[in-house]
């Protein structure tokens, strides 16, 4: 009887250690679509946008449909930073990661216009 209790206790201890180890090494995939907001381009995909997730060194760029996917992200709070060029726009969003997650983000569309000022050229965002 004593031997059976020791065996059951050892099995329970191993199971708890395996669960803890799995929780510490779990990684997840964050994916989604980056689209424009406003400027007559509502919902259009943002092609070639930089998508970075920190902490850590996770980064990618969006494809022709505005999609991105980053694997290997650990659990906990993370910040997603999206930077689009032509036209200019960026967004930063904080998320809690504890499973695979879809995070769609809208980036405000900003027109760039060139105007002359006292013989010089200035750039203005609208």
DSSP H or E run through 125: strand 120-125
Mean pLDDT of 11-37: 77
pLDDT at residue 118 in the model: 59
Q: Which residue has the higher pLDDT, 32 or 18?
A: 32
Give the global pTM.
0.70
Domains of the chain by start residue, with CATH:
28-125 (2.60.40.10)
Name which of 24-28, 33-37, 56-60, 76-80 the model is least confident about.
Answer: 24-28
Determine phi and psi for 41, rounding to 5 degrees.
-125, 25
Residue 66, phi-psi category: left (phi > 0), alpha (psi -120 to 50), beta (remainder): left
């Amino acid at each position: 009887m004593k031997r059976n209790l020791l065996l059951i206790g050892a099995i329970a201890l191993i199971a708890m250690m395996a669960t803890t180890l799995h929780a510490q090494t779990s990684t997840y995939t964050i994916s989604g679509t980056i689209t424009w907001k406003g400027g007559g381009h509502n919902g259009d995909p943002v092609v070639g946008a930089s998508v970075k997730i920190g902490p850590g060194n996770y980064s990618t760029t969006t494809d022709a449909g505005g999609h991105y996917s980053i694997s290997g992200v650990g659990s906990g709070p993370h910040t997603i930073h999206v930077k689009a060029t032509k036209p200019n726009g960026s967004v930063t969003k904080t998320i809690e990661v504890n499973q695979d997650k879809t995070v769609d983000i809208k980036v405000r569309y900003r027109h760039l216009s060139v105007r002359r000022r006292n013989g010089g050229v200035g750039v203005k965002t609208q």
